[in-house]
Amino acid sequence: MSRTTGFRRGVPLLLALVALLAGITSCAQRPASEEPVQQGNDRASAFPVRVKLSGQEPVTLPEQPKRIVSLSPTATEVLYAIGAGNRVVAVDKYSTYPERAPREEISALNVGAGTVSEYRPDLVIAQAGSAGELAKGLRELDIPVLLTPSAKDLSAAYQQMKALGRATGHNEEAADTVRRVRSEIDKLVRETPELEQPLTYYHEVGPDYFTATSKSFVGSVYEKFGLDNIADSAGGKFPQLSEEKILGADPEMIFLADTGTAGVTKGSVAERPGWQTLTAVKQGQVYELNEDVAGRWGPRVVELARSISEAIDGTRQG
């Protein structure tokens, strides 16, 4: 065999090897995408991804996370709703839903990066505003951290659900969850009787009269039903009202979101001095909410919307 013939026979093999190496190199150098990727049957093919939430540092995930630690109760609910629960190895003590979540006696407020690293996570999710030092420590250990800010309204909540879908390789399930939640809330709003005059309401966050205005996430849900918040003139998101202010405003509806830790009930509200004179108390229009549902912006916001819808219907019927 001549040298020329040997070289010609080797050319196809060489080209195939170059093509293979080029493919591997291209794959290895593929930039992180910020756009949802059609998953098909291979969730891992969507990675690497770059996830960024409003006001937070972006996080780049080189591959689909396999061991997730969630220190955000809302994020925990979303992870299980979008089908990523089987990758969650630990959640904080406040993540009370779903019950099967692997709850640990830790929280973003008091746990150190070293303790969290013992779970060998390849993604940690925590609520922004309460985990700054923890996030700094985790990044020094090269552990990706996604900080999730409090949602200001439903639109922000939907964006956060989709971001968690992107971070976990569950884009399609997250999009489905958002469509379902939006559709169910819109249906509840449509089916709730329209009011000739907006009903006034007071949403109690704590027995010391801390409340939520229409600028808060929960306030934005009430707003969709056309209710008038007596606390809006106080400004901010979670002001503390005086008892005189509440009695003077005489709300037609009272919603209690402090039924869990503080144990406030319709009965205890009626026993407060002077509160027997309020329209809401006299007419039995005090409504106890699930405290966890009222304080989170995950998929169970539908339950909050349903409670509001039923309360309006009950108030209308007297």
Helix/strand/coil (H/E/C) assignment for every residue in 246-293: HHHHCCCEEEECCCCCCCCCHHHHHCCCCHHHCHHHHCCCEEECCHHH
Whether the pLDDT of residue 82 is over 80: the answer is: yes
Please give the torsion angle defined by the CA atoms of residues 33, 35, 38 and 43, in that order, rounded to the nearest 10 degrees: 50
More confident call, 262 vs 29: 262
Report the distance separating Cα 268 and Cα 283, nearest Å: 15
Whether the pLDDT of residue 246 is over 80: the answer is: yes
Kindly report the length of the chain. 318
Percent of the chain at pLDDT > 90 equals 81
Band (317; pLDDT cuts 50, 70, 90): confident
Q: How far is CA 265 from CA 45, 130, 242, in A?
A: 51, 29, 19
Nearest to 108 by CA among 133, 85, 144, 84: 133
Q: How far is CA 92 from CA 69, 145, 157, 258, in A?
A: 8, 15, 20, 21
Band (196; pLDDT cuts 50, 70, 90): confident
Report the distance separating Cα 72 and Cα 100, nearest Å: 16
Whether the pLDDT of residue 18 is over 50: the answer is: no
User: For the chain, what is the total number of helices (H) and then of strands (E)?
Assistant: 12, 10
Q: Give the gyration radius of the chain's Cα atoms.
A: 26
Band (37; pLDDT cuts 50, 70, 90): low
Mean pLDDT of 102-124: 97
Whether the pLDDT of residue 255 is over 50: the answer is: yes
Percent of the chain at pLDDT > 70 equals 86
Would you state the pLDDT for residue 45? 85
Beta-sheet strands, E only, within 72-219? 88-91, 123-127, 145-148, 200-204
Report the distance separating Cα 226 and Cα 220, nearest Å: 10
Mean pLDDT of 201-206: 98
Nearest to 216 by CA among 194, 200, 235: 235
Would you state the pLDDT for residue 87? 97
Q: Write down the pTM of the prediction.
A: 0.86
Q: What are the φ/ψ torsions at residue 125 (nearest 5 degrees)?
A: -115, 130
- DSSP string across 223-244: HHTT-EETTGGG-SSS-B--HH
Q: What are the φ/ψ torsions at residue 88 (nearest 5 degrees)?
A: -85, 120
Please give the torsion angle defined by the CA atoms of residues 61, 67, 68 and 69, in that order, rounded to the nearest 10 degrees: -130
